[in-house]
Amino acid sequence: MDAQTIMQLIPNRYPILFMDHVDELNPGESIIATKNVTINEQFFQGHFPGNPVMPGVLIIESLAQAASILILKSPEFAGQTAYLGAISSAKFHQIVRPGDVLKLHVEFTKRRNNMGVVHTYAMVGDNVAAKAELTFIVSPNTEGAAATPS
């Protein structure tokens, strides 16, 4: 799934689309997506001058965007809207810098009528950069476009 296909599914656009492509998708089960981190990212202007570091909250947002694709491509939630309801057990293990490639891993752990819980982690090479459990509330799409969590 390339960036154009991703934008057909979730409404995020520059400067808040944090995914370049989907590597693997098993609807209802798991997803692996890629975010190429470049020095041209808008947030590096202020975070931090002379020491560019990707903000942790944006790593979590990247994971949430990958999770929203998994959720919205899952049969029971197709055509609906996913909202981020909670972030649990978020931990940051490694600084993410320009030139890094974030591999975003998301796996469903729980599902109910209108909610889902996913286990997520972001890798840089062989190292875990961040991980978190995300809870989503899913509701019927009332505006005609899928919404992304956050």
At 123, is the secondary structure helix, strand, or coil? strand
The reply to whether 47 belongs to the active site is: yes
Specify which residues 101 forms β-bridges with: 36
Question: Of the residues 21, 47, 105, 119, which is catalytic?
Answer: 47
Under 8 Å between Cβ of 90 and 60: yes
∠ at Cα 133 (90, 54), nearest 5°? 45
15, 133, 127: which is closest to 67 by C-alpha? 133
Give me the chain's average pLDDT, please.
Answer: 91
Kindly state the percentage of the chain with pLDDT values over 90: 73
Q: Where are the alpha helices (DSSP H) in the chain?
A: 3-9, 56-73
> What are the pLDDT digits (tens) for 76-131?
888 888 899 999 999 999 999 999 999 999 999 999 889 999 999 999 999 999 99
- List, in order of start, the domains of the chain with CATH numbers: 3-140 (3.10.129.10)
